[in-house]
């Protein structure tokens, strides 16, 4: 029985004496390298491509948000720490749906993914009774004549609510934004800076999945080299359809191909080793971690031996990423809420952070050995 190649060629092979009027195709195609495809800018697109689909981005954001949230916030009044204060109660239970930890985690995560975080104060009878975190992609800055924000438009469910900044006892919206050198109002997220590496990492995963779906075989071309003959247009179209139907996909893995009539298979794709596939993916992962300020060692990315051990990498994460972030958020919250709570201030307490225990012990030792300082001065230096 003739095979499918023989049937495709009309049930017979071309003979050297035959000539075709149609100068057909040879099924050998070389394509130029096209332009790179990058994911779209914007919060929704980057979150879909990054946080929702990329494990490195997801872990970086979760690691920063959850770890920073471990730092407790204290309230001081007239320079003295207090254990019972309305501001402490508000921070512990900001609204009916979230705890204080959930609210702070959302703030930290939005800063990493959007570069902006918005808090709305629920004011009743001149007193703040609730704090609500707003989705950054739903908030738009309304600039005044002087260029500074005078209000914020919050759009949801087909409606837009304008939140003014002239309310008492404090502006109704707190806008936290990471520095952006080219924007007057909105911040720039680490996820924006990591976009190129994010696309490379995602593309490497898609390429590997496509290779596995195709039975882990590289692409190639069928070359028709019969002397004096060529394929007709109909034969060329049918041959492509037969290849896609009978030899593409994981279900056809290992299926033998019988070639006749001057057909030859030529592999034209590069192997993963030629493309240095694995190292390219690890390099993209390290660049993503670099943008977020997370040591790659903490993410399990191989090839990074900058730190001697995990403990040193963890301290670097706290010193260079988490402490500045927590201080920034606590400072903005304090400046925003202080007028409504009699000037009370919010300060983070790093004494209970295990990763910083060695640094705190060294500080205590230096201050304790300073014989020229009084006990009161030592306590003041230590923030007690």
Q: What is the pLDDT of residue 271?
A: 60
Q: Which segments of the chain are extended strands (E)?
A: 73-77, 80-82, 116-124, 127-134, 139-143, 149-156, 159-164, 173-177, 220-224, 263-267, 345-348
**pLDDT higher than 80, residue 168:** yes
Task: Assign 221 to helix, strand or coil.
Answer: strand
User: How do residues 173-220 score in pLDDT, each as one tens digit?
Assistant: 999 999 999 999 999 999 999 999 999 888 888 877 776 776 555 566
- Kindly report the backbone phi and psi dihedral angles of residue 301, in degrees, each rounded to the nearest multiple of 5, phi listed first: -80, 120
Note the pTM of the prediction, 2 decimals.
0.76
* Torsion sign, CA atoms 51, 56, 62, 64: negative
Q: What is the three-state SS of 81-105? A: EECCCHHHHHHHCCCCCCCHHHHHH
Query: How far apart are alpha carbons 380 and 367 in whole angstroms?
Result: 10
User: How do residues 308-366 score in pLDDT, each as one tens digit?
Assistant: 788 888 889 999 999 999 999 999 999 999 999 999 999 999 887 887 777 777 777 88
**pLDDT higher than 90, residue 104:** yes
Query: How far apart are alpha carbons 271 and 289 in whole angstroms?
Result: 27
Q: Domain spans of the chain?
A: 1-29+222-268, 39-219+276-350
């Amino acid at each position: 029985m003739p095979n499918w190649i023989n049937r495709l060629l009309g049930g017979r092979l071309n003979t050297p004496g035959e000539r075709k009027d149609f100068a057909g195709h040879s099924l050998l195609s070389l394509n130029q390298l096209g332009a790179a495809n990058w994911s779209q800018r914007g919060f929704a697109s980057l979150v879909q491509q990054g946080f929702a689909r990329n494990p490195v981005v997801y872990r970086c954001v979760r690691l920063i948000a959850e770890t920073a949230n471990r730092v407790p916030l204290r309230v001081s009044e007239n320079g003295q720490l207090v254990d019972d204060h309305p501001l402490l109660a508000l921070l512990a239970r900001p609204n009916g749906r979230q705890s204080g930890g959930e609210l702070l985690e959302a703030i930290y995560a939005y800063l990493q993914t959007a570069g902006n975080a918005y808090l709305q104060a629920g004011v009743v009878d001149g007193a703040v009774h609730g704090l609500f975190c707003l989705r950054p992609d739903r908030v738009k800055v309304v600039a005044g004549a002087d260029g500074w924000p005078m209000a914020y438009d919050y759009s949801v469910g087909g409606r837009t609510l304008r939140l003014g900044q002239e309310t008492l006892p404090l502006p109704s919206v707190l806008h936290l934004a990471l520095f952006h050198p080219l924007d007057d109002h909105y911040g720039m997220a680490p996820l924006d800076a990591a976009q190129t590496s994010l696309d490379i990492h995602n593309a490497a995963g898609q390429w590997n999945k496509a290779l596995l779906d195709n039975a882990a075989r590289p692409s190639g071309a069928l070359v028709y080299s019969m002397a004096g003959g060529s394929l007709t247009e109909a034969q060329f179209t049918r041959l492509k359809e037969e290849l896609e139907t009978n030899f593409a996909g994981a279900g056809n893995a290992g299926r033998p191909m019988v070639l006749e009539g001057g057909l030859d298979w030529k592999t034209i794709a590069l192997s993963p080793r030629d493309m240095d596939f694995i190292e390219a993916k690890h390099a993209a992962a390290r660049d993503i971690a670099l943008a977020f300020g997370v040591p790659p060692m903490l993410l399990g990315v191989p090839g990074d031996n900058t730190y001697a051990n995990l403990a040193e990498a963890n301290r670097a994460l706290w010193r260079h990423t988490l402490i500045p972030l927590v201080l920034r958020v606590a400072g903005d919250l304090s400046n925003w809420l202080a007028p409504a709570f009699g000037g009370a201030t919010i300060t983070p307490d790093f004494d209970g952070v295990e990763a910083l225990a060695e640094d705190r012990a060294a500080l205590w030792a230096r201050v304790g050995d300073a014989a020229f300082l009084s006990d009161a001065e030592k306590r003041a230096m230590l923030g007690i």
